[in-house]
Amino acid sequence: MADQPTATERFIQGILPENPVYRQLLGLCATLAVSNNMKAALTMAASVTFVLLCANVVTSLIRNLLKPHLRIVVFTLTIATFVTIADRFLAAYLYQMSKTLGPYIPLIIVNCIIICRCEVCASKQSVFTAASDAIGQSLGFALALSSIAAIREILGTGMFFGLRVLPAAWPDWVIMALPPGAFLTFGLMLAAINWISSNK
């Protein structure tokens, strides 16, 4: 296993070179659904960070006990537990936000970013590497989600974090706040990032 990336490499890769949304095109359901305002996007990103970090650490701790054909069951069990904790926590302390995010928090269970990281990194590498991988990937996810949310919220409602940033004369592009706006923004961002990286 000498060819496995180190903890620092894992951390850096997660943020941009292997960004889960823009590079691996994972976790798109959540990306498209909750990126119409910054508050929801950041709550989602925080929940994913919590789940990814816990799941990666637990998986890495038990990696030597895993049987190859049962590993997906164990991953799902672990992820589902932490997702439920995150869901209950939001319902208790951020009630309105948990209603806004609705079914997307429970849907983190099937978010491919997390199963992917458990499979690729945590089930093979040490706890420290798995944790830094989780943080790197979460930062990458948060970055992607907030970049889309910023564009959609500003153009769609003229606001940023619920505060008005564009003049009142701005005709709100309602479509940006609706699902088509998510696809549009995501597609253009993806094109821009691919174009920039191919020109390097």
Partner 1 sequence: MMMESGRREIKDSPGMLERIKKNNLVQGWLVLLLALFFGSALASVQLSLGPKIEMNKLNETLSKVPELVLGASRAHEMEAKNQELGIEAMTIDVNKNNKRVLYNVYKTTYNGEITGWVVKTGGQGYASKLELLIGLDPGMESITGLFILAQKETPGLGNKIITEKWRKQFINKPTKNRLVVVKDGADALNEIDAITGATISSRSVTDILNTAISDLKGQLISGQSSNR
Where along the sequence are the contacts to partner 1 (CB under 8 A)?
33, 62, 65-67, 70, 73-74, 77-78, 81, 84-85, 88-89, 91-93, 95, 102-104, 106-107, 179
Q: Which is nearer to partner 1, 62 or 191 (CB)?
A: 62
Closest listed residue to residue 151, CA positions, set 57, 17, 1, 31: 31
Cβ 40 vs Cβ 149: under 8 Å: yes
The rounded distance, in Å, linking the Cα atoms of 149 and 99 is 18
In the complex, least distance from residue 82 CB atom to partner 1, rounded to whole angstroms: 9
In the complex, least distance from residue 31 CB atom to partner 1, rounded to whole angstroms: 13
Q: Which is nearer to partner 1, 12 or 107 (CB)?
A: 107
In the complex, least distance from residue 196 CB atom to partner 1, rounded to whole angstroms: 32
Q: Which is nearer to partner 1, 25 or 72 (CB)?
A: 72
Handedness of CA 101, 103, 105, 108 (dihedral sign): negative
Q: Which is nearer to partner 1, 72 or 165 (CB)?
A: 72
Q: Which is nearer to partner 1, 13 or 185 (CB)?
A: 185
Cβ 136 vs Cβ 117: under 8 Å: no
Residue 159, H or E segment: strand 159-160
* Maximum alpha-carbon separation in the chain: 62
The rounded distance, in Å, linking the Cα atoms of 168 and 26 is 37
In the complex, least distance from residue 64 CB atom to partner 1, rounded to whole angstroms: 11
Question: How wide is the angle at C-alpha 106 spanned by C-alphas 188 and 147, nearest 5°?
Answer: 25
In the complex, least distance from residue 101 CB atom to partner 1, rounded to whole angstroms: 10
